[in-house]
Homo-oligomer: A and B are copies of this chain.
């Protein structure tokens, strides 16, 4: 149950990729037969991606993943619009793939406002509006948070940015393939996605760039991706992204509804069976698959590993920082104290999960939490 960290490659997706891993190995930028086959496959994947997002194919640029897409969007717009201004607005709960590029820009003379969130993790669109100044060139607010699953009011923020003439980027890595994402309806200017979050391959993603939006290239070199992203195309990966996004878009709403029902059962069961627990993230405006808790008096990694031994994959904090002891910046932004933030557990459901999986977790989780609490000096102190 860690579908937010990564997902399995769907057999249909692998099948679509196979020709480009075997016979059709051409370089998509060469002129002869194999090269043209590769080019056509890349363009078909671009069309599929565009269709899934309600975009034009020329607005889709393939990258090596969500992280590169975020880096490119933020640094690319910042440097391209530098003469207009040097102020950027983002939130305190963004993924590191957004926060760290922002911190990098601060070292290069940019000013960044990191907006706070409420205790459910929601950004207030009014805060965005108030933070926009004369020299603001970019606002970047994530579509859905990777830890606590909260879905941000992106359409409203996009509208505010549009009115004020500021470009708006959203990191939709956790959303695409899981909830409907339409760039036209949302009114966003740039949007990042990553294939391995929706049963596509790892190491491939895309950046949507609305027509007319200027941004500097980030990876310079050959003329690939219409001179905006250099490097020999990862043809198999791109084809996999295209196949996966098409699959994920089909019957998206029914699938999301099924998963959300499982999620609600899981959340309800945990809140009922385990004392001293907090549900993190908004109760309803959250990703269909996400359930996120803080269990008081215990620490996340030990909980996680106990569950792993019992066959349940989960995450504590974000996947990237597991193994480090720094408490998650997202949980701290919600206002949780350190020792509470340390006891976090994320369970993320996907297409493969069933009622039985949820029942099994509801069976083992309470006893596991209890076992660890019996070892905890904080719990002992509380019992007095």
Contacts and interface: CB of A to CB of B under 8 A. Distances in A.
B223 A31 contact: no
Nearest to A323: B31
Interface stretch (A7-15, A156-164, A255-263): A7-15
A223 B2 contact: no
* Copies of this chain in its oligomeric complex: 2
A96 interface: yes
A230 B100 contact: yes
B70 A21 contact: no
A223 B32 contact: no
A311 to B, nearest CB: 9
A232 B31 contact: no
Contact of A68 (B6, B204, B219): B219
B304 A202 contact: no
Interface in A224-276: 224, 230-237
Interface in A50-87: 63-68, 70-71
B31 A308 contact: yes
Contact of A31 (B26, B66, B217, B322): B322
Interface in A157-216: 194, 196, 201-204, 216
A318 B323 CA distance: 45
A336 interface: no
Interface in A300-356: 301, 304-305, 308, 313-315, 318-324
A14 B314 CA distance: 30
Q: How large is the interface on A (under 10, 10 to 19, 20 to 34, 35 or more residues)?
A: 35 or more
A221 interface: yes
A285 interface: no
Contacts of A320: 29, 221-224, 230
Contacts of A103: 220
B67 A219 contact: yes
A21 B31 contact: no
A101 interface: yes
Nearest to A75: B220
Nearest to A313: B32
A104 interface: yes
A33 interface: yes
Contact of A9 (B21, B27, B98, B220): B21
A67 B229 CA distance: 10
A383 to B, nearest CB: 30
A95 interface: yes
A97 interface: yes
Interface of A: 2, 5-9, 14, 17, 21-23, 25-27, 29-35, 63-68, 70-71, 95-98, 100-101, 103-104, 194, 196, 201-204, 216-217, 219-224, 230-237, 301, 304-305, 308, 313-315, 318-324
Given A5-B27, A31-B304, A104-B216, 7 more contacts: A7-B25, A8-B25, A32-B304, A33-B313, A67-B222, A103-B220, A234-B237
15 contacts: A14-B22, A29-B323, A30-B319, A31-B323, A32-B308, A64-B68, A64-B234, A65-B232, A65-B234, A100-B221, A100-B230, A101-B221, A104-B216, A203-B234, A203-B237
